[in-house]
Amino acid sequence: MEEARMDRRTFVMGAAAIGAAALVGGVLGGCSDGEEAGTMTEPVPAAPSPTPEPAPGPLPYDSVFPPHEPLGRGVGAMPGRVAWVRDAAAVTWDGSGYWWQREHFNEDAVRRMVDDGVAAAAGADDAAAGWRVLFEAHNTRVGRAGGYRAGQRIAVKANMNGAGTFGADADSAMSYTTPVLLRALLLSLVEDAGTAPGDIAVYDACRIFPAHMMEFCSEGALAGVRFRCYDEGGPNDAVGDESAPVIWSGDVAGAANVVPACVSEADYLINLASLKGHSYGLTLCGKNHFGSLVNSNRLRPPEAAGIHRYVSGQTMGMYTVPVDLLANRLLGGKTMLWMLDGLVTAVSEGASVTREAALWEGAPFDGGFAASIFLSQDPVAIDSVGADFLINQPAVTSRNAALEGNLDVENYLHEAALASAPPSGAAYRDGAGNPVESLGVHEHWNNSVERLYSRDRGESEGIELVRILR
């Protein structure tokens, strides 16, 4: 185990010369709407930024959450690892127009962030090798040999909650998956992982994809990518698979649910969630699967399912439905990569995204955009990191009373980490009646300056936050 820790440490520290080169090469001009992205110079592999050394005198624990030892067990190719990639040059929005417009982002920078994040999450040298490692690690975990094979299908769960208005394709200032990030992810899947565009389905069963987003994310090298959404009777309808029910472990009274056919037929799933506040506190990878339900209310399936009360008003030690979603063999069980979109953050799901509210305090943000993405094969670890960032970020909590000081938002993380024997006493199952083990590892960073977790400090268990910061 000691040798493994040394390998991780060596990877995290990286080479100073390469890191400097990456910094120089990372600042490119933004693309204007309708223009081709600038051609990148020869790519330089990104070296993760050095993990900060502890301060000469220990800094006090300052998280809002109570400190505790790591709960559960890290999973993934690099157990408990979360890759944090930030590039200040990725977002160029001056506050005009809508936040999501293409011209407000540096497309080359965002693509580089995805590639670097995939490599870092896997402990690999580049994105192509990273995808191989991640697919193989996932297959090993689910009892399947080898890695990705041509012809296998991938479903990408986007978070389109703020897109449109009650199903209408109207421009919205609210938050949803950043189109430029989605395109970058899809390009990496096609160009680095070798996936055929026609084998990829991007979905959110109860929301729409704006026409501009579908066009942008299925043109050129991505021709053939499918979209499945709230489009009853239309060509992009996320039709439910009646043979693939979602079964709750708790006493949930509501409409019966199934997953979309694009999920049940997929071999793999990528959960592309949003790093943002919510009227219930926060919404990350766990809650993103509320958009994976199909029932009698196509526009508001969670409401018809009666599951909101198992998220809102939570107290520690209660049964919670996000754990069932993370444990479900068709949802969390198929997920080979978890991601958080933190390029332009929102304080709540119903709030219009403004430049002022999206500017973050403290280093390395220093009044700029979060301009970050997070990647991991551990759903509990990535949501733990996301929760730490959000609840300790004044720019978010000062505008979200539901999150400010709300310690109970981490209940589902405790339940998920200890899923085999959770504090609630619930008997979580995988949707097919089988009990589940720990779904990942949960803890909090030491303080909001160093942001060190247990594996960062050389421990054999816990979270490891690998950072690539430009």
What is the per-residue DSSP string for 99-127? TT-GGGB-HHHHHHHHHHHHHHHHT-SSH
Is it the case that residue 395 has pLDDT exceeding 90? Answer: yes
The residue-averaged pLDDT of 187-211 equals 97
What is the per-residue DSSP string for 139-196? HHHTT--SS--TT--EEEE---TTSSBTTB-----S----HHHHHHHHHHHHHTS---
What single letter denotes the amino acid at residue 37?
A
Confidence grade of residue 135 (pLDDT, cut at 50, 70, 90): very high
Is it the case that residue 129 has pLDDT exceeding 80? Answer: yes
What single letter denotes the amino acid at residue 380?
V
How many Cβ atoms sit within 10 Å of the Cβ of residue 87? 26
Closest CA to 209 of 268, 291, 264, 91: 291
Confidence grade of residue 243 (pLDDT, cut at 50, 70, 90): very high
Closest CA to 87 of 18, 22, 16, 21: 22
Closest CA to 295 of 248, 332, 354: 248
Q: Which residue has the tokens 């199934």?
A: 258
* DSSP bridge pairs for 157: 203, 271
List the structure tokens of 205: 């069963």
407-419 residue pLDDT tens: 899 999 999 999 9
Is it the case that residue 228 has pLDDT exceeding 70? Answer: yes
Mean pLDDT is lowest, of 25-29, 34-38, 96-100, for 25-29
Confidence grade of residue 33 (pLDDT, cut at 50, 70, 90): very low
- 193 in Cβ contact with 129 (< 8 Å): no
Give the model's pLDDT for residue 294: 97
Average pLDDT, the chain: 89
Give the model's pLDDT for residue 281: 84
Rounded distance between C-alpha atoms, residue 130 and residue 117, angstroms: 9
What string of H, E and C letters represents the secondary structure of 236-274?
CECCEEEEEEECCCCCCCCCCEEEEHHHHCCCEEEEEEE
How many Cβ atoms sit within 10 Å of the Cβ of residue 224? 12
Query: Higher model confidence: residue 228 or residue 11?
Result: 228
How many Cβ atoms sit within 10 Å of the Cβ of residue 350? 12
Is it the case that residue 265 has pLDDT exceeding 50? Answer: yes
Task: Give 68's DSSP letter.
Answer: -
Give the model's pLDDT for residue 41: 41
- 28 in Cβ contact with 38 (< 8 Å): yes
Distance of CA 203 to the CA centre of its chain: 15
Rounded distance between C-alpha atoms, residue 390 and residue 406, angstroms: 11
Give the model's pLDDT for residue 45: 63
Task: Count how many Cα atoms sit within 13 Å of the Cα of residue 331 in the half-sphere of its side chain.
Answer: 35
Confidence grade of residue 54 (pLDDT, cut at 50, 70, 90): low
Is it the case that residue 186 has pLDDT exceeding 60? Answer: yes
Closest CA to 175 of 80, 69, 278, 46: 278
Give the model's pLDDT for residue 6: 32
List the structure tokens of 234: 């239309």
Q: Which residue has the tokens 């938050």?
A: 175
Give the model's pLDDT for residue 72: 98
- State percent of the chain over pLDDT 90: 79
- 335 in Cβ contact with 375 (< 8 Å): no
Confidence grade of residue 313 (pLDDT, cut at 50, 70, 90): low
The residue-averaged pLDDT of 464-469 equals 98
pTM (two decimals): 0.89
Cis before 364? omega within 30: yes
List the structure tokens of 78: 């690099």
- Residue 363 φ/ψ region, left for φ over 0, alpha for ψ in the -120 to 50 degree band, beta for the rest: beta
Give the model's pLDDT for residue 44: 58
Q: 220 burial class (0-12, 13-18, 19+ CB within 10 angstroms)?
A: exposed
- Residue 53 φ/ψ region, left for φ over 0, alpha for ψ in the -120 to 50 degree band, beta for the rest: beta
Closest CA to 246 of 254, 255, 257, 238: 257
Helix (H) or strand (E) holding 321: helix 321-327
Query: Higher model confidence: residue 16 or residue 266?
Result: 266
The residue-averaged pLDDT of 282-310 equals 93
* DSSP bridge pairs for 376: 82, 338
142-172 residue pLDDT tens: 999 999 999 999 999 999 999 987 788 999 9
List the structure tokens of 350: 């119903």
Give the model's pLDDT for residue 30: 32
Mean pLDDT is lowest, of 39-48, 56-65, 188-197, for 39-48
Is it the case that residue 130 has pLDDT exceeding 90? Answer: yes
- 310 in Cβ contact with 252 (< 8 Å): yes
317-363 residue pLDDT tens: 999 999 999 999 999 999 999 999 999 999 988 889 999 999 999 99
- 372 in Cβ contact with 468 (< 8 Å): no
